């Protein structure tokens, strides 16, 4: 596996505090106090199930509410109805439950006060209920979003018979449709197949399971995706061995330079 995975597995949490600052800089199409939480799901042949858990901490001194809307994968998020709200007592951490239909890929559009801090985790659970693997999940908003017309790179991807496979997740964070292009490459820089044009609904998630096979990729490691869209967007990959204990989340590779330093100073 690529060494890139080791840095992707660090725990991630996010306060809604940063979003008003980033929105003021023009970095986010989401409203102040909003985040998108991608939700991954699935079941392996041996009965192992995959899902996303979400923790919420209230660092303030009064009760705060987290409001959420579930957006099923492949649907128009601007048409989704708010699903409910969750009270979080001051100083407490809540493991959310039953926010989404079981086994469904999609997005949670969440909003709340800046005193609320969120941490998602992707998990693989065995047939008997025991935890088999876990990895920090992404949160989408603010500086995480790629501006329209830019390109994201996802490294260290695999497609192996009986081994690791790569599922690609594309997020349109705009409230307008997005036209995207996905290109697959070997580590040598040669293309796998042809670039694929993809249209995304407004405020939506598109899941490409075993994504490398759609480009003719089989029995390979260290592959790469490049993704570009004409709306603000995000992309990540889940690289896992179905039914096994390997579960990795690959987030976009940052470019070296001042843009990385500027984003780091905001957190």
pLDDT at 167: 95
Nearest partner of 228 among 172, 159, 166, 144, judged by Cα: 172
CA dihedral 72, 74, 79, 83 (to 10 degrees): 10
Residue 13 confidence (pLDDT): 55
In this prediction, residue 151 carries a pLDDT of: 97
**Would you give the DSSP letter of residue 77?**
G
Taking the chain, what is the end-to-end CA distance rounded to the nearest angstrom? Answer: 29
Q: Which helix (H) or strand (E) holds 93?
A: strand 93-95
Element (H, E) at 180: strand 178-185
Q: What is the pLDDT of residue 244?
A: 81
Residue 210 contacts residue 240 (beta carbons within 8 Å): no
pLDDT of residue 41: 84
Could you tell me whether strands 42-43 and 131-136 are parallel, antiparallel, or unpaired per DSSP bridges?
A: unpaired
pLDDT of residue 28: 43
CATH fold group of domain 4-265: Hypothetical Protein Tm1070; Chain: A (2.60.290)
Q: Write the DSSP string, 202-253.
A: TTEEEEETTGGGGGT--SEEEEEEEEEESSSEEEEEEEE-TTSS-EEEEPPP
Query: Is the CB of residue 11 less than 8 Å from the CB of residue 118?
Result: no
Coil, strand or helix: which one is 261?
A: helix
Instruction: Tell me the C-alpha distance between 236 and 208, whole Å.
Output: 11
Residue 6, pLDDT score: 33
What counts of helices (H) and strands (E) characterise the chain? Answer: 3, 18
pLDDT tens, position by position, for the chain (267 residues)?
Answer: 333 333 333 444 555 544 433 333 333 467 767 899 998 888 888 888 888 999 999 999 999 999 999 999 999 999 999 888 999 999 999 998 777 777 788 999 999 999 999 999 999 888 888 999 999 999 998 888 999 999 999 999 999 988 999 999 999 999 999 999 999 999 999 999 999 999 999 999 999 999 999 999 999 999 999 999 999 999 999 999 888 888 999 999 988 875 555 545 444
């Amino acid at each position: 596996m690529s060494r890139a995975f080791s840095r992707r597995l660090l725990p991630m949490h996010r306060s809604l505090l940063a979003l008003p600052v980033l929105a003021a800089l023009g970095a986010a199409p989401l409203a102040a106090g909003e985040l998108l939480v991608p939700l991954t799901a699935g079941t392996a042949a041996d009965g192992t199930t995959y899902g996303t858990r979400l923790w919420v901490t209230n660092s303030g001194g009064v009760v705060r509410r987290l409001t959420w809307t579930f957006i099923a994968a492949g649907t128009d998020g601007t048409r989704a109805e708010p699903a409910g709200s969750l009270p979080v007592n001051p100083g407490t951490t809540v493991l959310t439950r039953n926010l989404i239909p079981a086994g469904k890929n999609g997005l949670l559009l969440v909003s709340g006060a800046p005193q609320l801090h969120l941490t998602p985790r992707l998990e693989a659970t065995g047939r008997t209920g025991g935890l088999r693997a876990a990895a920090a999940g992404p949160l989408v908003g603010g500086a995480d979003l790629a501006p329209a017309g830019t390109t994201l790179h996802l490294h260290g991807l695999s497609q192996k018979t009986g081994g690791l496979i790569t599922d690609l997740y594309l997020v349109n964070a705009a409230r307008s449709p997005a036209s995207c292009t996905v290109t697959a490459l070997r580590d040598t820089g040669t293309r796998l197949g042809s670039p694929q044009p993809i249209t995304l609904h407004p405020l939506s998630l598109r899941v490409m399971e075993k994504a490398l096979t759609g480009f003719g990729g089989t029995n390979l490691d260290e592959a790469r995706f490049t993704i570009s869209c004409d709306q603000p967007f995000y992309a990540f990959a889940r690289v896992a061995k179905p039914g096994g204990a390997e579960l990795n989340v690959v987030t976009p590779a940052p470019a070296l330079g001042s843009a990385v330093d500027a984003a780091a100073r905001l957190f």
